Amino acid sequence: MKLSTRSRYGLRFLIDLATHAGEGPVFLKDIARRQDLSEKYLWNVVLSLKSAGMVNSVRGPRGGYYLVGSPADITMNDIVSILEGPISLVDCVENRSSCNKADTCAARDVWVEAAGKIKNVLEGITLGTIVERMASKQS
Amino acid sequence: MKLSTRSRYGLRFLIDLATHAGEGPVFLKDIARRQDLSEKYLWNVVLSLKSAGMVNSVRGPRGGYYLVGSPADITMNDIVSILEGPISLVDCVENRSSCNKADTCAARDVWVEAAGKIKNVLEGITLGTIVERMASKQS
DNA sequence: ATATACTCCACAAAATTAGTAGACAATATA
DNA sequence: TATATTGTCTACTAATTTTGTGGAGTATAT
């Protein structure tokens, strides 16, 4: 039950972006350097975030990336869903037809319930609160 | 954020076992047939459950597996922890030294919090309630 | 004795994840 | 308009994890 590096890198990217909000677009290259991530691989992660409309980019000199919405409106569930896929602990939660026993399966009910609760947890954590907490930590 | 088949198979094995409690040991072969799982692979999963002390076995004819404790005392967190490893969404949650930035990392705090809450959710679901719910569903 | 079922090591196929290479496209600025 | 800077994109490869198989052996109730 580990998250892939996509989610980890994505979150670090977004935190970095939120931290530098209001300073104009931020270079992918700078974030990769600050966070010590492969620039190429990070781009691939960020591509997903952009496709999902969570970030946007400006090309050319003085270009870079910026958050589309307010950090307070971006939840961990949003981030993980984009980068990891929907929070279904097993396929049959999302996709009844992936198992021909889904309708009568006792185990499935468990996973549906657990997935729902985990989703609630992740929805309760926003990028905004993360950045706030960071700031108060440093002072 | 998917669980591996180990957890899925393991839960189905345990549900089957709990359902047949009080009838003496249950054959792995029978469960594999009922649940339509590879006998060999299921054995490997069950081995982990046995090593962890959750189930025990009797050899020879009339042998088989049985639950060690009461279904009411076995939580989803126990099961997933055994079969999937500890619920740390990222390595640094369990293992600070896996990342040299763990002490100052803002993202880590998020994962620690999320992992703790997810653990609470899974601890709230026991094998006992699952079996009960199944029974009431069938009536 | 022997049938039944568990034990355990080693191996292999499949799938997923992680990461790299390099050419191309857009654009702010001089 | 030239050019430096930065994002875009496709294709490929390497590493890891997951999932599963084979087969020889061991314990024991009948």
pLDDT tens-digit readout, A45-77: 999 999 999 999 999 999 999 999 999 999 999
Closest CA to A3 of A78, A74, A83: A83
User: Residue at minimal CA–C1' distance from D22?
Assistant: B40
Cβ B35 to strand C below 7 Å = no
Give the minimum alpha-carbon distance from B10 to chain A in angstroms, rounded to a whole number: 10
Distance CA A96, CA A80 (A): 22
Inter-chain residue contact A1 with B87, CB threshold 8 Å: yes
Inter-chain residue contact A109 with B76, CB threshold 8 Å: no
Name the residue among B8, B113, B118 with its Cβ closest to that of A107: B8
pLDDT at B19 > cutoff 80: yes
Strand C, nucleotides < 7 Å from a protein CB: these are 3-8, 17-22, 25-29
What is residue A21's predicted lDDT score, i.e. its pLDDT?
A: 87
Could you give the residue ranges of the DSSP H alpha helices within chain B?
A: 5-19, 28-35, 39-51, 76-84, 91-94, 106-123, 127-138
What is residue A55's predicted lDDT score, i.e. its pLDDT?
A: 97
pTM of the model: 0.92
Cβ B59 to strand C below 7 Å = yes
- Please write the tens of the pLDDT for every residue from B23-32: 889 999 999 9
pLDDT at B138 > cutoff 80: no
State mean pLDDT over A36-53: 96
Closest CA to A3 of A112, A77, A103: A77
